[in-house]
């Protein structure tokens, strides 16, 4: 029987009372922990975990809840229920589990109504700028959850690899800062439970796919964070991990199937040879050594070739998008998962949410391999990918080298030009996520030898070039990691996020003049992106660099345009505009962003400062 939501609390109390003879009932767990009526897929598979539940029969007293089949695998404690939900209505359904003629469990399963226009949600686009946050290091909004009973890894702010206390409430408290600076999307490193003994703060060793780590908050608080961010015009991107789990995940003690974890649950390192997946001369053994291997002993590698695990991971992603109203997903270590699974996973997500954006992490500086994963790119093997976006690591690496290397015929800014000239290999280069750094590499200010001029050139390029820019928290105030590449130092605390911090970057108090200058520059560029959409959505056109100067344009069919000039020279330069006549012929004047300098573009020149980046709006 379907139970109305109004009656549910009373009935649940009655059901709980009737099950007092079944002490193991408290151990029963159903994943996903609820679903929605009206989803695109008419199928749902429940994973039910409970002592000795395998082999049970399942009944439900409502014809709308159609059980197609019930399966057990190798563990005696798991049951999988396939349901046809094509005609399901919102409400609460009572499931009864019977074994050897004896009722052993009862539980309530809830289908909720979907939010209006949920399927049509708009994911992040070129218009957006993503702010990447390490939540443990951003702001401590709730000191009561810094250490939690039952979790070994306690708060230790002095340890680079320890938990420092940042949390979801801290991000909520500073949404105004994020929005007012001009960021329109937040991507936080994983927030799901990481019940690991140490280094749990980074979030990539998940021990519960359906639970926010209590040291960060709760599921409800995460949803509140998303709602409040949305009210300020900021979307939320969730960092998802499909390739591996944490070694303390319950699956390691009780695998649903023998093949749930690669190499029978024993550590065997990956080769990291991603090239093997694309090698026309290669062998399957090398491919499996890459995709089936583990990162480290504490991160067991999942076998997504198991169809039940495939369904589990697909449904988990959909559940979080729907539950938390996400605007996008970032997928960690994308290519390490099974290729066929990735095709299924992305196809299911994009069928449920056609406009959702998903970006995969493929850490390679080879653009051919990066392009392979993006939908609509050419692939010699015919692989079907529905992945909309990929992290543009080739551009990140090239940008740093282009700014630091000597200007010669083949080095310097020309390397950036050469890379972008190869954009034809991508299905959509404008939908790549571009960045100067992230949580796994030295900060961009450090990579550029703490040169403010080079930092400014990098930021100007990233916020005006093709693609969707991502800025790592603290970049706007020149956070650095001098003399070390320790990840715990790279992911240092944001000043002002903890009580009694001597510097409060959120309030712009205590910053050095250079830090204040950097913050104002980022804020100005983000304002430029919002006020002049041509900078974010216009066609990208560039001219080959000459004599240490690189000029490119963003233009649209409405007659709007922007010209960006990067000058790496140590001296001021007089840039003759006649060379750029193929683009400039459509315009008459250029106004420099940030001041009132306005010039005619006809037979004119522009004086540009040494080691500088300038943006000129065209009319």
Tell me if residue 471 falls in helix, strand or coil: strand
Candidates 332, 362, 392, 437; catalytic one: 332
- Rg over alpha carbons for the chain, rounded to the nearest Å, is 26
How distant, in Å, are the alpha carbons of 18, 38, 47, 585 from that of 24?
A: 13, 33, 17, 77
Q: How far apart are CA 323 and CA 110, in angstroms?
A: 13
| Residue 504: CB atoms within 10 Å | 15
DSSP string covering 238-274: EEE--SB--TTSGGGTS-SSTTSBGGGGS--B----G
Tokens of 477: 């105030």
The DSSP bridge partners found for residue 490 are none
CB atoms within 10 A of CB 445: 25
Examine the residue annotation and report whether 322 is marked as an active-site residue of this protein.
no
| Cβ 42 vs Cβ 51: under 8 Å | no
The pair of three-digit structure tokens given for residue 543, joined into one six-digit string: 């001219």
Euclidean distance between the first and final Cα of the chain, in Å?
67
Q: How far are the Cα atoms of 20, 436, 537, 545 from residue 396, in angstroms, in the given order?
A: 59, 5, 20, 18
Query: What is the C-alpha separation between 255 and 95, in angstroms, rounded?
Result: 24
Helix or strand run (H / E) with residue 541? strand 539-546
Examine the residue annotation and report whether 607 is marked as an active-site residue of this protein.
Answer: no
State the catalytic residue, choosing from 322, 361, 362, 392: 361
Q: Which has the closest alpha carbon to 395: 358, 359, 421, 360?
A: 421
Assess contact for 65 and 42: CB atoms under 8 A.
Answer: no
Residue 458 burial by Cβ neighbours in a 10 Å radius (0-12, 13-18, 19+): buried
CA distance 373 to 334: 9
Confirm if 190 and 244 have CB atoms less than 8 A apart. no
Interhelix angle for 339-352 vs 307-324, to 10°?
A: 30
Q: Which two tokens stand for residue 295?
A: 């990162």
Positions marked catalytic: 332, 361
């Amino acid at each position: 029987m379907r139970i109305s939501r109004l009656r549910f609390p009373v009935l649940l109390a009655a059901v709980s009372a009737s099950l007092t003879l079944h002490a193991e009932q408290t151990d029963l767990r159903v994943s996903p922990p609820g679903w929605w009526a009206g989803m695109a897929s008419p199928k749902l598979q429940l994973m039910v975990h409970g002592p000795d539940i395998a082999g049970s029969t399942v009944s439900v007293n409502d014809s709308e809840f159609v059980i197609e089949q019930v399966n057990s695998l190798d563990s005696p404690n798991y049951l999988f229920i396939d349901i046809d939900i094509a005609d399901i209505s919102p409400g609460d359904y009572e499931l009864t589990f019977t074994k050897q003629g004896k009722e052993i469990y009862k539980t309530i399963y809830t289908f909720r109504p979907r939010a209006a226009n949920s399927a049509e949600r708009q994911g992040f686009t070129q218009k957006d700028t993503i702010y990447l946050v390490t939540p443990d290091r951003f702001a401590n909004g709730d000191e009561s959850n810094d250490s939690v009973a039952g979790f070994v890894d306690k708060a230790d702010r002095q340890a680079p690899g320890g938990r420092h206390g940042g949390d979801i409430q801290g991000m909520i408290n500073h949404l105004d800062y994020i929005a007012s600076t001009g960021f329109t999307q937040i991507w936080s490193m994983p927030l799901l439970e990481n019940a690991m003994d140490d280094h749990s703060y980074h979030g990539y060793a998940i021990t519960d796919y359906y639970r926010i780590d209590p040291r960060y908050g709760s599921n409800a608080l995460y949803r509140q964070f998303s709602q409040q961010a949305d009210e300020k015009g900021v979307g939320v991107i969730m960092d998802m991990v499909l390739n591996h789990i944490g070694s303390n995940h319950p699956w390691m003690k009780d695998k649903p199937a023998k093949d749930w974890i690669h190499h029978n649950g024993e550590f065997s390192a990956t080769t990291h040879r991603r090239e093997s997946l694309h090698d026309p001369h290669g062998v399957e053994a090398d491919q499996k050594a890459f995709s089936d291997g583990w990162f480290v002993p504490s991160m067991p590698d999942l076998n997504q070739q198991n169809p039940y695990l495939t369904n589990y991971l697909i449904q988990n992603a959909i559940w979080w998008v729907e539950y938390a109203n996400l605007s996008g997903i970032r997928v960690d270590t994308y290519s390490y998962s099974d290729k066929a699974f990735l095709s299924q996973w992305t196809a299911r997500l994009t069928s449920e949410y056609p406009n959702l954006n998903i970006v995969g992490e493929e850490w390679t500086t080879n653009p051919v391999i990066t392009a392979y994963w993006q939908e609509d790119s050419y692939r010699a093997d015919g692989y079907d990918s529905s992945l909309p976006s990929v992290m543009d690591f080739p551009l990140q690496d090239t940008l740093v080298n282009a700014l630091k290397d000597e200007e010669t015929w083949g080095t310097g800014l020309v390397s950036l030009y050469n890379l972008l000239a190869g954009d034809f290999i991508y299905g959509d280069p404008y939908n790549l996520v571009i960045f100067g750094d992230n949580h796994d590499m030295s900060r961009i200010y450090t990579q550029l030898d703490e040169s403010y001029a080079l930092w400014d050139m990098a930021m100007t390029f990233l916020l005006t070039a093709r693609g969707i820019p991502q800025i790592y928290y603290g970049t706007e105030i020149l956070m650095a990691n001098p003399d070390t590449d320790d990840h715990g130092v790279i992911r240092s605390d944001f000043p002002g996020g903890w009580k009694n911090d001597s510097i409060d970057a959120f309030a712009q108090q205590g910053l050095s003049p250079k830090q204040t200058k950097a913050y104002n520059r980022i804020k100005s560029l983000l304002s430029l992106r919002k006020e002049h959409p041509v900078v974010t959505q216009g066609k990208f056109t560039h001219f080959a660099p000459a004599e240490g100067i690189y000029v490119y344009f963003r233009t649209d069919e409405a007659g709007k345009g922007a010209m960006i000039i990067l000058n790496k020279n140590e001296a001021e330069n007089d840039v003759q505009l006649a060379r750029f006549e193929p683009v400039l012929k459509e315009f008459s004047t250029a106004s420099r962003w940030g001041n009132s300098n306005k010039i005619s573009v006809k037979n004119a020149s522009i004086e540009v400062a040494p080691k500088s980046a300038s943006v000129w709006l065209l009319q």
